[in-house]
Structure 1
Amino acid sequence: MSPSQLGWTYQPLTGFDVETTSTDPQTARIVTGSVVRYGGGWPTTRQTWLSDVGGVDIPTAATAVHGFTTEVCRAAGSPAAVVVEEITTALAAAVEEGRPLVIMNATYDLTVLDREARRYGVTPLLDRVSAHVLDPYVLDKRVRTHRRGGRTLADLCRHYVVPLEGAHSSEADALAACSLVVKIGRRYRVLGRLPMAQLHREQVGWAREQNESLRAYFARTPGKEEWARDVRLEWPLLPFREAVSPR
């Protein structure tokens, strides 16, 4: 039986992850980004970029997560516009070759990349290609809605027994996300058997339902009512509406 007959878990995937300056995807700057080719019987390949973050300072809280300081990025990083263009081009090439993009918490990473592209006059990824995305967070929450415990990348790796060496390294996180979706797709065969286009469409609906549930939970929980306003329903990209801050 050929890989195409076995389903998408036996075909090549492309993992993507960024480490950034903040948790707000509208304003965060890319510090590091990685694109990896994974699975399908091919050797795993990796591309990783370090950005000079466009001359902005990296907050100490962000450095504490990923380890990169402003000084290191300014000394060793490539110009942010070049990094954004090269990452976007690499992902577009993967999509054009028929590979789905595997992105943990895809709405964050794709929105960061989209806003960075607009900030530097780069044609955004989803203006270039129509991508199919696999998000281990959305998939896990669909098949194990009421499972106790967190759903960070590290949490999911522990649950599915997937190696994660060097968490919060964009390369390690991208590779772990690929391993996760393969594990999930093979364990829950109803997912692994779905055609990729259909699975992408299903995730749009599942993510919306999941975020509606979270919004409702915040709205009815004392002390968390205001958090409900910040829960967005779109997946895998927040539509561009707000003006992006200048460089």
Structure 2
Amino acid sequence: MTSWVTEPLVAFDLETTGTDVETDRIVTAAVVRLEPDGAVSAERTWLLNPGVVIPEEASAIHGISTDHAREHGVSASSAVEAITQAVAEVLHSGTPLVVMNARYDLSLLDRECRRYELESISERLGSVPSPVIDPLVIDKHVDKYRKGKRALHALCAHYGVSLEDAHNARADAVAAARVVRRMGEKYQPVGTMSSTDLHDLQVRAAAAQSASLQAYLRRTTNPTAVVESAWPVIPRSR
């Protein structure tokens, strides 16, 4: 059986107005296909007018101001439709979708679909998005006790992957795919799995990681802390 490590990957990334999947909006997005040698063979990018003010702290991270988004961005509803369809087509084809911190990006995209009364990825596929490969979940699984940050820039530094123009959606998507390939090459039990088995492993690993963090927080700072365990999409609240 051919390993996913030596097959094409498609990476997906969002830059947004904040970190709350229920209320924040997409500002930029990228869907990028990488060949086995790491070269980019196809890409689509979007700049949206999110319809709300982009907080200064968010603009400081990704470089997109409210005025720039209003002047140059496309309507959020049409862009969300195009982004969702592009991601759904990738997953429908069976090509693994690489998403750094998938629980955030895919959940926020899901909520944007609800906001604009569009079919979500899950509704288009008839199932939860799969196969998804998340460098954050995999790194925590294969190197559980390593100290230090696990943000994308830290993973790139640890695995020897160049990251230029961080917090640009295209650049982050490319780096995420390249870094997860390095993980697969280094950790053979992960690298030799089918993409479906790897997806299922991440569902279990993400739940275990959340349970561990929740227990730590309850023990140290907040006795009632709750850490989301669902992956790759947080279920919608009623």
Question: Is TM > 0.5 for Structure 1 vs Structure 2?
Answer: yes
Matched, 1:178 2:184: no
Paired residue secondary structure (1:14): strand
User: Counterpart amino acid of 1:44?
Assistant: S
Alignment RMSD (CA, Å): 1.3
Matching residue of 1:245: none
| Counterpart-to-counterpart distance in 1, 2:170 and 2:65 | 18
| Counterpart-to-counterpart distance in 1, 2:223 and 2:108 | 24
Deviations 1:47-94 (A, max 9, x none): 1100000x2110111111111111100110000001100001111111
Give runs of aligned pairs for residues 130-145 of structure 1, distance below 5 A: 130=127, 131-145=130-144
User: Counterpart amino acid of 1:82?
Assistant: S
| Counterpart-to-counterpart distance in 2, 1:162 and 1:17 | 17
**Shift of residue 180 of structure 1?**
1.0
| Counterpart-to-counterpart distance in 2, 1:32 and 1:227 | 35
Matching residue of 2:156: 157
Matching residue of 1:232: 228
Q: 1:146 to 1:34 in 2, by over 3 A?
A: same
- Aligned match of 2:81 in 82, 85, 90? 85
| Counterpart-to-counterpart distance in 1, 2:224 and 2:66 | 31
Matching residue of 1:46: 43
Matching residue of 2:215: 216
Matching residue of 2:118: 122
| Counterpart-to-counterpart distance in 2, 1:220 and 1:96 | 42
Matching residue of 2:146: 147
User: Counterpart amino acid of 1:21?
Assistant: T
| Counterpart-to-counterpart distance in 1, 2:35 and 2:117 | 33
Matching residue of 1:13: 9
User: Counterpart amino acid of 2:96?
Assistant: P
| Counterpart-to-counterpart distance in 2, 1:175 and 1:150 | 20
Matched, 1:65 2:64: no
Paired residue secondary structure (2:74): coil
**Shift of residue 100 of structure 1?**
1.0
- Aligned match of 1:94 in 84, 90, 93? 90
Deviations 1:147-204 (A, max 9, x none): 0111000010000001100110111110011001110001101101111111111100
Paired residue secondary structure (1:28): coil
Structure 1, unpaired ranges of 5+: 243-247
| Counterpart-to-counterpart distance in 2, 1:73 and 1:213 | 39
User: Counterpart amino acid of 1:78?
Assistant: V
**Shift of residue 6 of structure 1?**
3.5
Matching residue of 1:74: 70
Structure 2, unpaired ranges of 5+: none
Give runs of aligned pairs for residues 182-201 of structure 1, distance below 5 A: 182-201=181-200
Is contact 2:32–2:40 with CA below 8 Å preserved after alignment? no
| Counterpart-to-counterpart distance in 2, 1:91 and 1:233 | 23
| Counterpart-to-counterpart distance in 2, 1:181 and 1:26 | 28
Matched, 1:33 2:29: yes
**Shift of residue 43 of structure 1?**
4.6
Paired residue secondary structure (1:32): strand
Give runs of aligned pairs for residues 99-118 of structure 1, distance below 5 A: 99-118=95-114
Q: What is the percentage of aligned positions where both structures have the same residue?
A: 44
